[in-house]
Structure 1
């Protein structure tokens, strides 16, 4: 990313974590793959590094601020970063949230150490599966994210950036909520800009205002609805600001006639432009989701999610077995030719 200088490979942080690779950079931070020398395991480390404020020379680890005028904004953002890390660390036992193991200040910046996930983003998962998913998979994703949000909202954190980019599908089909956007919101307010954080089609109208006090659990609920709409249809929903001028968002049941009405109604309610017409909480939204086309029995819903995971794993093993048989035949053929 232009204007960003990463930590050098091999850098040791906190006398414990060795930087192994650069995974990416965004508007407010850099993400690294690292090795935990204490626990002897791979971890993911996010470094607080707001674009347009932070600076670092190519070979240095220390972060500086461009101007004295930026110093207060930088420090304020760093404290927000650490508060968010502390909040997420308290949710370590929640399976559908990326676990935060550690956080600390160093190099005039802050770091968050998280579990290293193996899998792909929901966006990639959908693309690799033909551009959309069936209702069972969508329900599995929605339920997993909403279960996570119940815990997140309970400790006073709003995600603010839910989209297919920030939902992770692990290799075992577990769903993880990643890359919280509360800090991005604060930086946007400091820079008087929303362009660095809002994703077209997934952000509700209240996020286009400069007043974050208008945002709450309902903000995340809209984004979950928009994400499910997208993975079911393969279509990015009409952006909320455009909907405010002329709402032409096509109801799910008109695009997918076979979808259960309860599910379709729940998603469209979550995407209401009026905050008061959305679900009041993640729990309320979750309770309206069907476990199948007729009921919303929690036990059946969990059994179906397990069944989908089992079938997915069996499919992967079956494909792997075919590859191994092919390789064995090729090796036997090659050995025969040598004789």
Structure 2
């Protein structure tokens, strides 16, 4: 199957018990989109029956087509192919699950985010949920992989396959679980038809806890662990927030997404005050305590390579969360001409890089344009290797990071490398979280060109 209606299939994005999701290109416009085609697992079909599944899928399409919200993925088309209904949606390369490094082994640790980033993701999710709940829709499957991110890192809620309309009763077999382990609220596991908006808020709380700490809120004995225990930078007010939002009793949680968002914004303002106070004391400290010293290391590889995913851990010296095994501290120089100089690696970097995200091919064209105009008097700019990008990461130092002025422009957080992962994918580096990942060439990431310094 190479085509579905007016859409050319470019690859499989994922599959579940109900459907497969393909990356497609619209034949007329050339726009890259996601197409969800109903292809239920035979076990699910035997439990529910084909007619029931089709009815539920078509209702999902109706729900998505009726919604227009900045934090909800837009459905653009709905049709049928060989008797199977499909939904066409906006396509985004990133999702929160990928950003935090969550895997199918949910008990394993993930990458914690800075509080302001985790709070923003949760706040935007709650904004989207407020729109859904006002329309009488309960999502029932909020989790990191169902929260997509656009080029500017704005949240886009997706996957309404398990959503519930106000007053709707879906007669499913008792052995069919609605929702995802750990994220589904206790009452949803008992009676999925009886839940209200507070089930979605519980899932947001689990996700926020994970983003802040790198762990699920329960331990091996299913006991809730205080967030401040796993992340000492969080105060006891965070513990009270999670005690309420993760309560097993819906009546003890927040009453609405707006209510939960207000409490979260109070915690955000408190965090900003903590950082402000800390940095005032930091600036009064002796300069020697505020300097980052360069760490000796060899010059990174500068020639592009094709590195398969199974080779990446060893080739890039990464841990199991795709982060450098040995992060480095640096002492960059800023000559004031739009570049940053690294005396240790003898590399010159663009200080700002591209203003917008671009495809991998556009990234290469962008570097060529820098050489044509001789940006900063240099005509040997190139797309960096993964090792070169890893050389500009800085060793996290807690609150100190908020007080030390950034050398590089911070707008572009996902940077393309010149290294390929396959015939249609390349490696990129998240410079704010310090991990390596791969994506296909059509994704839009930023570019920070590099050049070898002239002796």
> What residue number does 2:30 align with?
40
State the Cα deviation string for residues 43-69 of structure 1 (Å, max 9, x = none). Answer: 110012221268xxxxxxxxxx77xx9
Equivalent of 2:231 in 246, 253, 256: 256
Aligned to 1:172: 152
Matching residue of 1:3: none
Task: Return the match for 1:200 from 163, 181, 185.
Answer: 181
How far 1:157 moved relative to its partner?
Answer: 1.7
Aligned in 2, Cα 1:105/1:315: closer, same or farther, shift over 3 Å? closer
Partners of 1:160 and 1:182 within 8 A in 2: yes
Q: Could you say which residue in structure 1 is the equivalent of 2:260?
A: 285
Instruction: Give distance in 2, aligned partners of 1:143 and 1:224.
Output: 9
Q: Corresponding residue for 2:450?
A: 324
Alpha-carbon RMSD:
3.7
1:191-270 aligned within 5 A: 191-195=173-177, 197-209=178-190, 211-238=191-218, 248-270=223-245
Give the aligned partner of residue 190 of structure 1: 172
SS in 2 for 1:141: helix
Measure, in 1, the Cα distance between the counterparts of 2:414 and 2:20.
35
1:127 aligns with 2:114: no
Displacement of 1:105: 3.2
Is 1:49 paired with 2:39?
yes
1:248-299 CA deviation, whole Å, 9 max, x = no partner? Answer: 2012133333225544433332111001001111111111112634399xxx
State TM-score, norm by structure 1.
Answer: 0.72
Equivalent in the alignment of 1:97: 72
Structure 1 contact 28–184 (Cα < 8 Å) conserved: no
Q: Post-superposition shift, 1:20?
A: 2.4
Q: CA deviation at 1:191?
A: 4.3
The answer (yes or no) to whether the contact 1:80–1:183 under 8 Å persists in 2 is no
Any idea what SS the aligned residue of 1:142 has? helix
RCO greater where, 1 or 2, for CA within 8 Å and sep 6 or more? 1
Q: CA 1:163–1:145 in structure 2 vs 1: closer, same or farther (change >3 Å)? A: same
- Counterparts of 1:143 and 1:183, CA distance in 2: 20
**What residue ranges of structure 2 are gaps of 5+ in the alignment?**
103-108, 273-408, 417-428, 432-445
Deviation at 1:124, TM superposition (A): 1.7
Say whether the 8 Å CA contact 1:125–1:169 is kept in structure 2: no
Aligned length: 286
Larger radius of gyration: 2
Q: In 2, distance between residues paired with 1:184 and 1:37?
A: 34
Structure 1: stretches of 5+ with no match in the other structure? 1-7, 55-64, 297-309, 334-339
CA distance in 2, matches of 1:200, 1:87: 24
**Do the aligned residues in 1 keep the contact of 2:140 with 2:162 (CA within 8 Å)?**
yes
CA–CA distance in structure 2, aligned partners of residues 172 and 101 of structure 1: 21
Give the deviation of 1:184 after TM superposition.
10
